[in-house]
């Protein structure tokens, strides 16, 4: 159980033929209340899929009652026909569960530009079946949202009388600007939509927004947070936000660990920055540097490529003051060589790069992955 | 003959053991006048190599008399010792040719962080031999500046009584912000340094600055333009600038064609932009998108990844108005599918992507390459 761990939620997942593998590809999460509330954050990519355009309106219409998600097609850049597919999907769900279509969130993931009549029919005609499969003990929804992911990503937090459950998908096009990927988080805490929105924005900013696996921002990213009030408990907002942050952090780490073709999970910790923004900018510049990422794949602690990357930023620092360590071994001190690179072992998957700018007291960690042959293969051998 | 095609220049190249292959790795270009003038543009990376720090001062000291270049070591982030190596190199050249060290430009290329006593000795003690090899019919200098390049890059322009010659190196870390790579351009036109500077900035902005092979900006990029006045002819400034632009464009195309591990040369032509800046920003966003670059390697005209990339820019456009063509075949019209992707053949190395934003009348072309297994191999199998 994941999104159905909190009281007041049912979920389901079925296979409707969108995936050529025949695996589950349609999922539904329904909020049964008694006090439904909701919040969501969306990709900041200006090229937005039809479900994003739809869901951005829905989240303004008061508490969302359900979120329906499909893999096997992004329904992005599919024109007015594609938007109508999204709307008809919401209508079908609303009809079956007795709600207003204006309160049904829709998410899609898959190939951009795909979403024809066959795609529409497979989804819309199977909504009754999807609703029939709803259960408070569902085990399929988390797999039905996967695309190139190799494992399900879920997280649960149990607290004093209330809980959080979550599921996520995402393995490529993984570089959020505001939100990221498809994530559904549920809670039976009794909180209104404004409180959920505050907690969600804070949690995503420090988790998904700092995951930058391949520098490519998706058109379909959405993180949805639904509260049912089913526990009857209203937690302290800070306590709830911290629990939510832990859940988001766990999911971000799971996404990183399953990133397409990756052989290293690289945590780039930037310290001594003049501001959080500087720390994130510096971390992201390294995370997006292909030469650095290829070097890590080759187990080469190439600190020169780190300095070359951060030199392209506007952050406050003196290149000749910077220290760089790999897996705890300082190889660059004050912008010059420190120890031999052979002192450092980069063979473990888990890789820690620490950059000290000596320009202030702020720090941030950006998560990324290495650039590998398998990444190139997965993203060149077929369309995705 | 390349940089010695114009009258008033001698050049040389020798092997001093900086390259493990034993190939030439030290080059010199001397401006014998009679009316020496010079201009240069440098990397906008804030992490700058010692030769860049040195040469930025030199170019302010009046006409430069020579440029000495080494491959086999970037002399970047090598501390005060490295800066002294650069200075001693200039002093040695100045002593041998009878000039002031303050008028000797220095360029280096190779691994960042490399530049020890052995490196210094190999360069400085061999300057007399390098000067002895100077010739107006040199054929070695253009090869002595290469690193991972597989071929020499040269260009010559002959005009009415005057000429331009040029040599360049660069195969990776190829994403300029102001200048790029190591390039030496000579001319026997009689022009002062201010005129050279104007022409050089204009020409590099529209050539090297729009070459973005792998998104990684170098710490050592320098484009040097030396004029001897040897022809006795002062060309019209516009005529000279146009000739210089042709030379730079030719070199940029040669750099693109030899980019590390690449299998496609991709020209991204952005049309209908509201400004030149918008056109370049949109082109660069696509050039830096790993998913797009991997798709081209797989001969997949994935227009969805193009739209996802340009959606991350601040440029003025409506995603639902954009057209995208691959090799002359329009696959995306008004932000939706147009023809089947199978209508398009991406097997030729030369690849043309045309993006029409329908937001104005400006256009620009950004050159890039695909993301291949060979790129990953070259940049992970050994340090560079």
Its ipTM equals 0.79
- More confident of the two residues A218 and B91: B91
Is B382's Cβ below 8 Å from some Cβ in A? yes
In angstroms, rounded to a whole number, what is the distance separating the alpha carbons of residues B244 and B196?
10
Taking CB atoms and an 8 Å cutoff, what residues of chain B touch A337? 77-78, 113
pLDDT at site B173: 67
Q: What digits encode the pLDDT tens for the residues A295-313? A: 999 999 999 889 988 988 9
Which tokens go with B155?
């260009």
Q: What digits encode the pLDDT tens for the residues A193-216? A: 999 999 999 998 888 888 887 777
In angstroms, rounded to a whole number, what is the distance separating the alpha carbons of residues A264 and A352?
10
Whether A80 shows a pLDDT value over 60: the answer reads: yes
pLDDT at site A175: 63
Say which of A5, A180, A186, A368 is annotated catalytic: A180
Q: Is A21 exposed, middle or buried (0-12, 13-18, 19+ CB in 10 A)?
A: exposed
Is A305's Cβ below 8 Å from some Cβ in B? yes
In degrees and rounded to multiples of 5, residue B368 shows phi and psi of -145, -175
- A180 belongs to the catalytic site: yes
In the block, residue with structure tokens 């032509």: B269
Cβ count within 10 A of residue B57: 9
Contact assignment for A46 to B74 by CB distance below 8 Å: no
In angstroms, rounded to a whole number, what is the distance separating the alpha carbons of residues A351 and A366?
12
Instruction: Determine the straight-line distance between the first and last CA of chain A, rounded to whole angstroms.
Output: 29
pLDDT at site A229: 92
State mean pLDDT over A30-58: 91
Contact assignment for B77 to A376 by CB distance below 8 Å: no
Q: Which of residues 69-128 of A touch B (CB under 8 A)?
A: 74, 76-79, 111-113
- Cβ atoms of residues A155 and A1 within 8 Å: no
Whether A265-378 and A9-257 are alike in CATH topology: the answer is no
pLDDT at site A287: 92
Contact assignment for A295 to B380 by CB distance below 8 Å: yes
For domain B9-257, the CATH class is: alpha beta
Least confident window among B46-50, B159-163, B313-317, B357-361? B46-50
What sign does the dihedral A67-A68-A71-A74 (CA atoms) show?
negative
pLDDT at site A42: 87
Cβ count within 10 A of residue A205: 18
| Average pLDDT value for chain B | 91
In angstroms, rounded to a whole number, what is the distance separating the alpha carbons of residues A259 and A167?
16
In CATH, the architecture of A265-378 is Roll (3.10)
Q: Which of residues 186-245 of A touch B (CB under 8 A)?
A: 214-219
B176 pLDDT tier (thresholds 50, 70, 90):
low
- More confident of the two residues B32 and B212: B32
| CA A322-A326-A330 angle, 5° bins | 50
Cα–Cα nearest to A19, from A77, A73, A82: A73
Cβ count within 10 A of residue B267: 18
Which of A15-19, A43-47, B78-82 is the most confident on average?
Answer: A15-19
Whether A179 shows a pLDDT value over 50: the answer reads: no
- What are residue A66's DSSP bridge partners? A30, A104
pLDDT at site B179: 41
Of the candidates B215, B312, B319, which has its C-beta nearest A217's C-beta?
Answer: B312
pLDDT at site A12: 97
pLDDT at site A174: 66
- More confident of the two residues A136 and A180: A136
In angstroms, rounded to a whole number, what is the distance separating the alpha carbons of residues A114 and A73?
6
Contact assignment for A304 to B380 by CB distance below 8 Å: no
Cα–Cα nearest to B106, from B88, B121, B130: B88
A380 pLDDT tier (thresholds 50, 70, 90):
confident
Q: Is A337 helix (H, G, I), strand (E, B) or coil?
A: strand
In the block, residue with structure tokens 């008028």: B103
State mean pLDDT over B344-359: 96
| CA B141-B146-B152 angle, 5° bins | 70
- Cβ atoms of residues B110 and B66 within 8 Å: no
State mean pLDDT over B85-107: 97
Q: What is the DSSP-derived secondary structure letter of residue B73?
A: B
Is B375's Cβ below 8 Å from some Cβ in A? yes
pLDDT at site A178: 43
Q: What digits encode the pLDDT tens for the residues A301-359? A: 999 889 988 988 999 999 889 999 999 999 999 988 899 989 999 999 999 999 999 99
Residues 6+ apart with CB under 8 A from B150: B171, B258
- Cβ atoms of residues A301 and A331 within 8 Å: yes
Of the candidates A215, A371, A381, which has its C-beta nearest B298's C-beta?
Answer: A381
Q: Which of residues 322-341 of B touch A (CB under 8 A)?
A: 332, 334-337, 341
- More confident of the two residues A381 and B373: B373
pLDDT at site B178: 43
- What are residue A337's DSSP bridge partners? A332
In angstroms, rounded to a whole number, what is the distance separating the alpha carbons of residues B40 and A169?
50
State mean pLDDT over A367-377: 91
Q: Is B102 exposed, middle or buried (0-12, 13-18, 19+ CB in 10 A)?
A: middle
In angstroms, rounded to a whole number, what is the distance separating the alpha carbons of residues B17 and B82?
18
Say if residue A180 carries a ligand binding annotation. Answer: yes
- More confident of the two residues A74 and A128: A128
Q: What length does chain B have?
A: 384
pLDDT at site A55: 95
In the block, residue with structure tokens 């355009």: A53
Is A308's Cβ below 8 Å from some Cβ in B? yes
Domain residues of chain A, as ranges?
A: 9-257, 265-378
Taking CB atoms and an 8 Å cutoff, what residues of chain A touch B111? 304
Best of A44, A75, A76, A77 to disrupt the B interface (most B CBs within 10 Å) is A77
In angstroms, rounded to a whole number, what is the distance separating the alpha carbons of residues B132 and B141?
13
- Cβ atoms of residues B293 and B368 within 8 Å: yes
In the block, residue with structure tokens 């201010």: B194
Dmax over Cα atoms in chain B, in whole Å? 67
Of the candidates B217, B305, B372, which has its C-beta nearest A376's C-beta?
Answer: B372
């Amino acid at each position: 159980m994941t999104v159905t761990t909190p009281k007041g939620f049912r979920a389901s997942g079925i296979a409707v033929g969108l995936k050529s593998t025949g695996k589950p590809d349609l999922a539904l999460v329904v909020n049964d209340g008694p006090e439904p509330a909701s919040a969501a954050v969306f990709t900041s990519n200006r090229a937005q899929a039809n479900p994003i355009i739809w869901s951005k309106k829905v989240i303004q219409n008061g508490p969302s009652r359900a979120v329906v998600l499909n893999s096997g097609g992004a329904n992005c850049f599919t024109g007015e026909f594609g938007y109508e597919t999204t709307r008809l999907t919401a209508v079908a769900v609303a009809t079956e569960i007795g709600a207003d279509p204006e309160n049904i969130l829709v998410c899609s993931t898959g190939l951009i530009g795909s979403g024809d009549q066959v795609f529409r029919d497979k989804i819309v005609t199977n909504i009754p079946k999807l609703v029939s499969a709803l259960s408070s003990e569902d085990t399929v929804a988390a797999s039905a949202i996967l695309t190139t992911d190799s494992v399900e990503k879920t997280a649960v937090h149990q607290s004093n009388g209330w809980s959080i459950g979550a599921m996520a998908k995402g393995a490529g096009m993984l570089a959020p600007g505001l939100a990221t990927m498809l994530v559904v988080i549920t809670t039976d805490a009794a909180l209104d939509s404004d409180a959920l929105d505050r907690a969600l924005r804070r949690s995503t900013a420090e988790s998904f927004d700092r995951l930058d696996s391949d520098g490519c921002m998706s058109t379909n990213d959405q993180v949805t947070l639904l509260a049912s009030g089913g526990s009857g408990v209203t937690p302290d907002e800070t306590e709830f936000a911290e629990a939510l942050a832990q859940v988001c952090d766990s999911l971000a780490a799971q996404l990183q660990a399953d990133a397409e073709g990756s052989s290293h999970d690289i945590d780039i910790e930037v310290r001594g920055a003049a501001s959080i923004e500087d720390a994130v900018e510096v971390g992201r510049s390294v995370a997006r540097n292909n030469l650095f990422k290829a070097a890590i794949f080759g187990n080469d602690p190439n600190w020169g490529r780190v300095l070359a990357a951060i030199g392209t930023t506007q952050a406050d620092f003196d290149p000749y003051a910077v220290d760089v360590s790999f897996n705890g071994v300082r190889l660059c001190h004050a912008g010059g060589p420190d120890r031999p690179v052979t002192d450092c072992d980069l063979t473990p998957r888990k890789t820690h790069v620490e950059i000290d700018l000596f320009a202030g007291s702020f720090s941030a960690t950006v998560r990324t992955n290495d650039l590998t042959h398998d990444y190139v293969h997965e993203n060149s051998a077929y369309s995705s």
